[in-house]
Amino acid sequence: MTVPKEMPEKWARAGAPPSWSRKKPSWGTEEERRARANDREYNEKFQYASNCIKTSKYNILTFLPVNLFEQFQEVANTYFLFLLILQLIPQISSLSWFTTIVPLVLVLTITAVKDATDDYFRHKSDNQVNNRQSQVLINGILQQEQWMNVCVGDIIKLENNQFVAADLLLLSSSEPHGLCYIETAELDGETNMKVRQAIPITSELGDISKLAKFDGEVICEPPNNKLDKFSGTLYWKENKFPLSNQNMLLRGCVLRNTEWCFGLVIFAGPDTKLMQNSGRTKFKRTSIDRLMNTLVLWIFGFLVCMGVILAIGNAIWEHEVGTRFQVYLPWDEAVDSAFFSGFLSFWSYIIILNTVVPISLYVSVEVIRLGHSYFINWDKKMFCMKKRTPAEARTTTLNEELGQVEYIFSDKTGTLTQNIMVFNKCSINGRSYGDVFDVLGHKAELGERPEPVDFSFNPLADKKFLFWDPTLLEAVKMGDPHTHEFFRLLSLCHTVMSEEKNEGELYYKAQSPDEGALVTAARNFGFVFRSRTPKTITVHEMGTAITYQLLAILDFNNIRKRMSVIVRNPEGKIRLYCKGADTILLDRLHHSTQELLNTTTDHLNEYAGEGLRTLVLAYKDLDEEYYEEWAGRRLQASLAQDSREDRLASVYEEVESDMMLLGATAIEDKLQQGVPETIALLTLANIKIWVLTGDKQETAVNIGYSCKMLTDDMTEVFIVTGHTVLEVREELRKAREKMMDSSRAVGNGFTYQEKLSSSRLTSVLEAVAGEYALVINGHSLAHALEADMELEFLETACACKAVICCRVTPLQKAQVVELVKKYKKAVTLAIGDGANDVSMIKTAHIGVGISGQEGIQAVLASDYSFSQFKFLQRLLLVHGRWSYLRMCKFLCYFFYKNFAFTMVHFWFGFFCGFSAQTVYDQYFITLYNIVYTSLPVLAMGVFDQDVPEQRSMEYPKLYEPGQLNLLFNKREFFICIAQGIYTSVLMFFIPYGVFAEATRDDGTQLADYQSFAVTVATSLVIVVSVQIGLDTGYWTAINHFFIWGSLAVYFAILFAMHSNGLFDMFPNQFRFVGNAQNTLAQPTVWLTIVLTTVVCIMPVVAFRFLRLNLKPDLSDTVRYTQLVRKKQKAQHRCMRRVGRTGSRRSGYAFSHQEGFGELIMSGKNMRLSSLALSTFTTRSSSSWIESLRRKKSDSASSPSGGAEKPLKG
């Protein structure tokens, strides 16, 4: 695809890996980067990469050899090339070379054209980017240079809205204090502006003459892919200055709202962080792919066995019989013995019988997967009108695995919730604000509340902001010092950027929705963040503009989980303001705040219990002397060449201690629409959902109840909060014991006499009675994931219906997913919306990204993406289930038709002296898989469905066959093979028996080789066409056209091949002249074809009829209920036409079954249609799945046994 100008390097993230011929420094791997400004001669000594990028793989000369080399690394292609070489040896080949080369060349050509097209667009993108113009300072003059000619150490001038050409150290800009604004959407998907700042010493270098004299040298870290980290030092004028990520402009960013800036090139081309992140993602394969590879090896072994049997037969026949006919049938010159004849016969039969695994299988699988991906992309019911965002299948290789998912790992914020934050409540100096009470003192619900607070006193207030408790505004207006300090902290302690397009119209650009909500709340309550510079923050406090000197920002990260600023107010007083997670901040408070801490903790627990996101606010006064001493140590830590981050963290830790508690904030993040219904439906489909979130425990638990993951009907919710290994192990053990005790109490038949083995324990635990949930904290999870305890944790968690992990880091998310993948034979799916979910998404079998409020990092790393969590039910229960069903039916039919086709040669070998003579003519062998039978099976693989999409959603239990791998496994494979062999036996022996005695209409013998070949070939095409008609569950016009069209094409080609015209032109190639017309004109032949077809198909019809009546599966039952409903509707319409219209009797008189009222009131969220299914489902149809699930649980070793509970009958 072409690359749009406004997004020039999207291919760098998602495309092929870079293939640059990078020259390394002579001393080996680069350990540090040295770049001197305006000194190309010095920098060239290090042989750094140029700024030219190359993502294309081929050129005109290398395309053919390199592409063919890559394609023949595929085992299948190499196998067919080997067969082609064998066919070129006349002593062993009884088939023309084109029977193999035509399909092989077709496949290689299609793949080569696709690769060439992709590479053409890569070349086009490379040229477009490399030939961009940039202004480079050379010999004191700004010159236009192409990007590819930019070198490390060059100084570049950027202008507003230009893309950054390389990774630059910002030297100066048109903005005061060396500030500039950038957009990083190409790097991390975030569209909000970010600020970068030049170091003070270079910020004055705005003049060309000064920049031309600049000869500073940068020593920094070597090239790496960490977008948010940079560590370096600038040496200039015998001083050194620390450099951080705040001083860097990375390639792929766009300069915004800044007239110009100058930057020094540090990393170029392939060394830039953008290109370092463009490596190939891990290739994911489906379980069906892995099974197919195993089956193909088995088939190859079977092929070798058949070749050996027939070779032995040839050797015996030549020794016993063939030697008597040497006069009439002499051996070839190279053959000197019966043994050698058998050896050559072996290779001949390998060639003839190779069609049991045709090359068209692999092409057809890819075409079907591509079709399924387009269905996902085109699904209007997964299109978000609000964001104008469609669902997108970003890979074509995993579609059928969507129908086999057993575990879903979900982020909470932005995935289950909207990630649109609203300031809801707060606690200030021990008083809680946000609740509204009526005259009786009862808490008013949302619908009963009066008008929201009036902020008209504040001309800069955000009109969209709503707050319901007027007492907070009253406290602000009355000048309460604690309330003022509370909102002052919110207006100062952040990294928000303010933009004022018109007077009084403020627009905040926040890195996170939480931060934006807090600054907006402070704005409405009279503390308006107005603007910032690198050294100041201006706030309008109750209408008065106050400028604070910004001394330091102690930024947030996932380890610190807090952020602080140190400011000096106009009176000269220095104060540190801090906000962060309660688990971190409460331990850093001064002991004198203990009483306030207890009250605030109660408020925090109350807020978290309502599902609100909480932060704690604190401050600390610093004296001038201490600050100067601390700032010196901070500078030393920032200049350190090694362990810089650890040293800075230690310095930050020191100052962020003994703080005074101010209060806490509570932000509401509402559930997305349809989340409870989606989770309930997926739970009914026997999918277990684990929520992995960074939020605190109470918030996560409350969201769990809101989205119906946790219910009041659960037997027990286990909460693991241990701080040591022993505590965590003990809590997990108690949870397992409680589950076992409840199982014994209800008489499940388990006896717990002595310590059970781990495999037995797993199967027992997963069959426990009752529904359980597990909630575990991040510090407890860290112990639970240790090698000696991970199995205990997994056993406990897998026995629970729902699992919630709180306060987890991105790494822990990936570790939990990896744990289930490692020990469970189950397909996992991870879904998230932010950068902290990327590792989890990449680790799971299937990764789903939600395009939400946190940029598109998760989407870029995902296999599938959409905009709302509720679309997951349609992705799995409709598209996933259908894809699995279609692929399984396709594979079953494909192996059947090819064994039926190929095994005829095997039986014929016993009647032709094992001479490797083929039954069919060579053109039929060539066209069978690529013309006669290819399109009907493709149509079934792309369009087939067992039940309509509405029924797939109504009956989630239909999803379970995929989880249990019922539709295509080794057993089903052998059934298909057996049916194919059975068909081949009848296909050969029925015509053989008939032809032995049959005569033509004129009395001459019918039994000749050519007539036999036409009869068997025609029978085969008709039988496999009828069989695919039986296998097709959903008929479309395309199915009809392909099936009947393929039959028509067969007869058209057959008569053309046997025509006089082709014989006259190519007498050596088309020797069956007139045979088709003569053979198919005989009634005996048609009777033989009909008899063969009936005998081949009738057992299949009979078996399916009996199974449908005696042991129907769930989809059969659903189809039956659908037919019943249609008939009832038709009868109801007829009755309405002829019945009386005057009766007003209640219809309840005819209801003989108990209603569903109690169930609906219980809140179990079970679909009515799913329950009604029990009316039509026989006891046996559910018990066979139940018994299979028990077998799976019992046979699997701990803890890789089945993770699901038995179906309830």
* Ranges assigned E (strand) in 221-334: 232-236, 239-243, 248-249, 254-256, 260-267
- Helix (H), strand (E), coil (C) string for 322-367: HHHHCCCCCCCCCCCCHHHHHHHHHHHHHHHHHHHCCCHHHHHHHH
966 class by beta-carbon count within 10 Å (0-12 exposed, 13-18 middle, 19+ buried):
middle
Output the CA angle 104-106-112, nearest 5 degrees: 100
Q: Which residue has the tokens 């070839």?
A: 332
Helix (H) or strand (E) holding 1087: helix 1083-1110
Give the tokens for residue 548: 């604070």
Report helix, strand or coil for 144. Answer: strand
646 is annotated as an active-site residue = no
What is the C-alpha R_g of the chain?
37
CB 524 within 8 A of CB 458: yes
CB 983 within 8 A of CB 1096: yes
Output the CA angle 1074-1076-1079, nearest 5 degrees: 105
Contacts of 882 by beta carbon, 8 Å cutoff, 6+ apart: 372, 403, 944, 945, 952
Q: Which long-range contacts (CB under 8 A, 24 or more apart) does 1175-1180 make?
A: 1176/1117, 1176/1120, 1176/1121, 1176/1124, 1177/1114, 1177/1117, 1178/1112, 1179/1209, 1180/1110, 1180/1111
Catalytic one of 411, 837, 863, 1031: 411
Nearest C-alpha neighbor of 88 from the set 74, 75, 101, 69 = 101
Contacts of 346 by beta carbon, 8 Å cutoff, 6+ apart: 307, 308, 310, 311
Q: Would you tell me the crossing angle of helices 1037-1057 and 934-943 to the nearest 10 degrees?
A: 170
Q: What is the DSSP string of 31-70?
A: -SEEEETT-HHHHHTTT---S--------TTTHHHHHHHH
CB 428 within 8 A of CB 663: yes
Pairing mode of beta strands 827-832, 405-410: parallel
330 in the Ramachandran plot: left (φ > 0), alpha (ψ -120 to 50) or beta?
Answer: beta
**Distance in Å from the first CA to the final CA of the chain:** 52
439 class by beta-carbon count within 10 Å (0-12 exposed, 13-18 middle, 19+ buried):
exposed
Nearest C-alpha neighbor of 908 from the set 1062, 1013, 1058, 1027 = 1013
Nearest C-alpha neighbor of 429 from the set 283, 600, 271 = 600
Locate all alpha helices (DSSP H) within 1004-1082, ordered by sequence.
1009-1031, 1037-1057, 1060-1065, 1075-1079
* Ranges assigned E (strand) in 248-307: 248-249, 254-256, 260-267
Contacts of 509 by beta carbon, 8 Å cutoff, 6+ apart: 192, 193, 496, 497, 498, 499
CB 20 within 8 A of CB 53: yes
Report helix, strand or coil for 846. Answer: strand
Strand pairing partners for 138? 141
Report helix, strand or coil for 603. Answer: helix
Contacts of 1028 by beta carbon, 8 Å cutoff, 6+ apart: 893, 936, 937, 940, 1043
Nearest C-alpha neighbor of 668 from the set 934, 429, 419 = 419
Report helix, strand or coil for 968. Answer: coil
Strand order in the sheet with 254-256: 193-197, 179-183, 254-256
Q: Supply the residues annotated as catalytic.
A: 411
